[in-house]
């Protein structure tokens, strides 16, 4: 999801592809809200801008066995591939809308993951589904496109639990007229679980704009970011042994910062090995402890959408409006 507001304009121009040089422009400012943040991001940390020229990039995912990054450009209806040695290339087009003619301003794929079978699993706005595709050969298959006979709105972000179940969010951002689109069939902007046998249940139905989604390292807590300027929050839900989400509580509330005029909202995020959330939010990227304490921020000066761990698990890749960025951290992503 992209807002029309930007904080500042960068004073340099970047080329669309990666150069042969290993030195990249930098951007952003690190804010240390808590002393513990110095262990996660040392004082000499810098955000590198490694590619640019996109409309609105989202959903980064690192392909571990091949050492490259995939990410969506939602308006362009493409998935891009970034490789340290080969640079940037188009990996998949179309990525989220295969229909005829204009669909919306955000028709492509959004959130991406590599599932436990090694497939690229995509949240597709235009085709309003969750799809899976082998990385090396073969076409897509639809994993889910409806709930109780009604089409999803526009699946946005997804995570897979250790037990194989998928959990995903379904706000209206990919629809042509958003929440007022006449083709909308489901009244709630829900959070869903799809079991390995294909059964789908609506786990959460009372959020106004569910967006980013992730699990704690032990899989017992489900986190949801809500991209609503009136209630810009991160929620935490206990998950029982059957995989059902219990009563949620607010983990962190950034509504006051959002209402103060700082552009950006809680959006995509990932969790590190200690359970800290690294999430897009007002002004850039927030780092929040599992106890709900704000440890630090990376103020980017541009709308930040999502992030993903890559390389050896300690490099955080960030999709920042038209830029692809990365920063070396003092921790590793959960599961590395």
User: How does residue 5 score in pLDDT terms, banded at 50, 70 and 90?
Assistant: very low
What pLDDT score does 125 carry? 98
**Does residue 267 have an active-site annotation?**
yes
Q: Which CATH superfamily is 26-328 part of? A: TolB, C-terminal domain (2.120.10.30)
What are 234's two structure tokens? Answer: 């991160």
State whether residue 273 is helix, strand or coil: coil
DSSP 8-state secondary structure symbol assigned to residue 219: S
pTM (2 d.p.): 0.93
What pLDDT score does 19 carry? 39
Residue with tokens 């599932």: 115
pLDDT in tens, 200-234: 999 999 999 999 999 999 999 999 999 999 999 99
Residue ranges for the known binding site for substrate are: 156
State whether residue 196 is helix, strand or coil: coil
What are 67's two structure tokens? Answer: 């050492």
What's the whole-number mean pLDDT along residues 137-157? 96
State whether residue 256 is helix, strand or coil: helix
Q: Calculate ∠ Cα 8-52-126, nearest 5°.
A: 95
Report the alpha-carbon distance of residue 331 to residue 175 in Å, rounded: 37
Report the chain's C-alpha Rg in angstroms.
18
Report the alpha-carbon distance of residue 119 to residue 291 in Å, rounded: 33
User: How does residue 2 score in pLDDT terms, banded at 50, 70 and 90?
Assistant: low
Q: Which comes out higher in pLDDT, residue 166 or 20?
A: 166
DSSP 3-state percent helix, strand, coil across the chain (nearest 5): 5, 45, 55
User: How does residue 292 score in pLDDT terms, banded at 50, 70 and 90?
Assistant: very high
Residue ranges for the known binding site are: 58, 156, 211, 267
Report the alpha-carbon distance of residue 179 to residue 172 in Å, rounded: 5
What pLDDT score does 138 carry? 77
User: How does residue 261 score in pLDDT terms, banded at 50, 70 and 90?
Assistant: very high
Report the alpha-carbon distance of residue 211 to residue 214 in Å, rounded: 10
Residue ranges for the known binding site for a divalent metal cation are: 58, 211, 267
Concatenate the DSSP letters of all residues of 28-96 into one string: -EEEESSTTHHHHS-TT--EEEEEE--SSEEEEEEETTTTEEEEEETTTTEEEEEETTTEEEEEESSSS
Instruction: Out of 127, 157, 170, 267, pick the active-site residue.
Output: 267
What pLDDT score does 23 carry? 86
Q: Answer whether 170's CB lies under 8 Å from 211's CB.
A: no
What pLDDT score does 1 carry? 64
What are 73's two structure tokens? Answer: 């450009």
What are 159's two structure tokens? Answer: 């995570």
Q: Answer whether 212's CB lies under 8 Å from 306's CB.
A: yes
What pLDDT score does 100 carry? 94
Q: Answer whether 129's CB lies under 8 Å from 144's CB.
A: yes
Q: Answer whether 41's CB lies under 8 Å from 296's CB.
A: yes
Nearest to 52 by CA among 324, 320, 317: 324
What's the whole-number mean pLDDT along residues 299-315? 97
What pLDDT score does 110 carry? 98
User: How does residue 137 score in pLDDT terms, banded at 50, 70 and 90?
Assistant: confident
What's the whole-number mean pLDDT along residues 295-303? 97
């Amino acid at each position: 999801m992209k807002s029309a507001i930007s904080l500042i304009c960068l004073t340099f121009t970047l080329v669309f592809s990666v150069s042969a040089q290993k030195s990249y422009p930098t951007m952003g400012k690190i804010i240390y809200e808590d002393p513990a943040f110095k262990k996660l991001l040392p004082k000499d940390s810098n955000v590198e801008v490694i590619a640019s020229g996109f409309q609105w990039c989202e959903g980064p995912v690192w392909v571990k066995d091949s050492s490259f990054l995939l990410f969506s450009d939602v308006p362009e209806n493409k998935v891009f591939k970034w490789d340290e040695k080969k640079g940037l290339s188009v990996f998949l087009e179309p990525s989220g809308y295969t229909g005829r003619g204009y669909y919306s301003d955000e028709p492509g794929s959004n959130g991406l993951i590599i599932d436990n079978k090694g497939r690229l699993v995509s949240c597709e706005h235009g085709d309003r589904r969750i799809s899976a595709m082998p990385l090396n050969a073969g076409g897509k298959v639809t994993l889910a496109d409806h709930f109780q006979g009604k089409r999803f709105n526009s699946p946005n972000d997804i995570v897979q639990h250790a037990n194989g179940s998928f959990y995903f969010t379904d706000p209206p951002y990919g629809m042509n007229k958003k929440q007022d689109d006449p083709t909308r069939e489901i009244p709630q902007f829900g959070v869903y679980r799809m079991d390995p046998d294909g059964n789908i249940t609506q786990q959460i139905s009372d959020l106004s704009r569910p967006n980013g989604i992730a699990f704690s390292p032990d899989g017992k807590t489900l986190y949801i970011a809500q991209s609503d300027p009136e209630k810009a929050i991160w929620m935490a839900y206990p998950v029982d042994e059957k995989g059902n989400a219990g009563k949620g509580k607010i983990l962190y509330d950034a509504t006051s910062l959002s209402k103060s005029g700082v552009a950006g909202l809680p959006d995509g995020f990932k969790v590190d090995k200690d359970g800290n959330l690294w999430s897009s939010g007002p002004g850039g990227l927030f780092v929040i402890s599992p106890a709900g304490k704000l440890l630090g921020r990376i103020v980017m000066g541009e709308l930040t959408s999502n992030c993903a761990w890559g390389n050896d698990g300690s490099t955080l890749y960030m999709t920042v409006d038209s830029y692809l960025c990365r920063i070396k951290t003092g921790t590793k992503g959960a599961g590395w």
